[in-house]
Amino acid sequence: MFDALTLETVLIVSAPVITLGLLVLWMSANRAKSRLEKELSEVRNKAAIADQLKQNLAKTEFALKHANEAREKAETRFARLESELQSAERHHAEKLADLEKAREQLKETFKVTASEILKSSGEELSKSSKESLDKMLNPLRDQLKEFREKVETDSHKRVEQTSALDRMVQILRKDAQQMSEDAANLANALRSSSKMQGDWGELILTSILEKAGLREGQEFHTQQTETDGDGARLRPDVVVNMPGSQRLVIDSKVSLKAFEVCVNAESDEDRDTALKQHLASIRAHIKSLHEKDYPKLYEGVSFTLMFIPLEGAASLAFQSDPDLAGFAWERDIMIATPTNLMMAMRTVQNLWTIDRQNQNAREIADRAGQLYDKLVGFVEELDTVGQRLNQAQDAWSTAKNRLSSGRGNVIRQTEMLKSLGAQTKKSLPGSYLDAADDEEALPALDGPDKDET
């Protein structure tokens, strides 16, 4: 009985302890379960983030691949276009070389003819002067006529080449559109930094200018600091030089952050909000450029080009705000995209090519005119020399006649003195003696009378 009582007592005393132990074990198990569930949730979140990063990386690599392919296609087409332009320039240079060769041949012909004319004298020069003059002037007239025809032909060909270039640029337009779309995907990596985005826009702008055939430091300049009339310092992104001392300012600092948000928005409400911010950003930048008044700094066009490096950003803005182009134009701003900027800069490059060709043609025409004027002056001097030679010939003939013609002429009288015993060492030429026609002879003088001696 004592043992049964003791066991019951032990059980009664041990029950709370056992219960407390079980409670502690249960609480420990719950805490471990909560910790494990939390760690499992974190692992799942990290796995989801890793999957998203992998997807983004794959999209970026895909976009980069297509951008590289589009760039290579565009570079190939640009190289072909540049090759055709270089061929046209070589053709024009060959024609100018032919003209220069013809001019040298004319110069040599002129030297030979002038030498032959100078060898002539007297009546022979007088008779041949008109014929020689025609021989000298007619080739020059023919050369000038041929030069004029070549210049006109080259002018027509340049017009045809310009038309062909416009057609090629239209073909490149699709490639430029593809490049812009691929560039939009790459721009996602730049949207976190405004400065990086600005540098990227300037890089795209410079690349377009160089592919259009313009040279930095000659046809365009970057980041030049200027001071306006009020003393404010301005630093346009690019200044394009044009023929006739004209300049065009291009700005590429428009922000595209709102456009990136709009494209990647998950809800219509977020997309509409970002679109409004995108349009407001473009309009604000237009106002800022208008206040800077870049055209006031330079002589030339009266507007500024605002470059948007993404076709999609510009297209979305124009579709959503039909008055945007008019709003910009009223403030002397024109919005440019990679496609139309490439065409505009190609046109500027063609203007430079035509300007250089026209300068060469004007210089050749001026030199041809100077050569013609000098030739006319030389011919006039030759006529004067011929007249004076004729006058000298007439004076010589008159003097000769006075010596050898008429009764009692000097030649006959001196010959008669010689025949009378004058001591001489030389004799007159036979032609003078034959010309002497005075038949009157002096009376023969007899020697001294011997009888008188």
pLDDT tens string, the chain, 453 residues long: the values are 545 556 667 667 677 777 777 777 788 777 878 888 888 888 787 777 777 767 766 766 676 676 677 677 767 877 777 787 777 778 777 776 776 675 566 556 555 554 555 555 555 555 555 566 566 666 666 766 776 676 677 666 666 666 666 666 665 665 566 555 555 545 554 455 566 666 777 888 888 989 888 998 888 988 877 777 677 788 888 889 888 878 888 988 778 888 888 888 888 888 899 889 989 999 999 998 888 888 888 766 788 899 988 888 888 889 989 999 899 999 999 999 988 889 888 988 898 988 888 888 887 877 877 877 877 887 788 788 888 888 888 877 777 776 667 666 777 777 777 677 767 777 777 666 676 654 444 444 444 444 433
- Tell me: do 264 and 211 sit in the same domain: yes
Q: Establish if 125 belongs to a structural domain.
A: yes
Whether residue 344 lies inside any domain: the answer is no
The whole domain housing 93 covers 27-189+350-382
Question: Which residues have a Cβ under 8 Å from the Cβ of 36 and sit 6 or more positions away?
Answer: none
The number of domains in the chain is 2
Q: Are residues 203 and 163 in the same domain?
A: no
Domain shared by 248 and 233, yes or no: yes
Q: Are residues 69 and 163 in the same domain?
A: yes
159 occurs within a structural domain: yes
Same domain as 268, residue 208: yes
- 441 belongs to a structural domain: no
pTM for this model (two decimals): 0.46
Rg, C-alpha atoms of the chain: 51
Question: What is the helix, strand, coil percentage profile of the chain, to 5?
Answer: 75, 5, 20
Cα(206)–Cα(215) distance, integer angstroms: 10
**Within this chain, do residues 293 and 359 fall inside the same structural domain, yes or no?**
no
Q: Is 300 exposed, middle or buried (0-12, 13-18, 19+ CB in 10 A)?
A: middle
Residue 165 shares a structural domain with residue 68: yes
Question: Is residue 8 assigned to a domain?
Answer: no
Q: Are residues 66 and 96 in the same domain?
A: yes
372 and 309 in one domain?
no
Residue 13 lies in a domain: no
Rounded CA-CA distance 280/284 in Å is 6
Residues 264 and 161 in one domain: no
Clarify whether residues 65 and 171 are in a common domain. yes
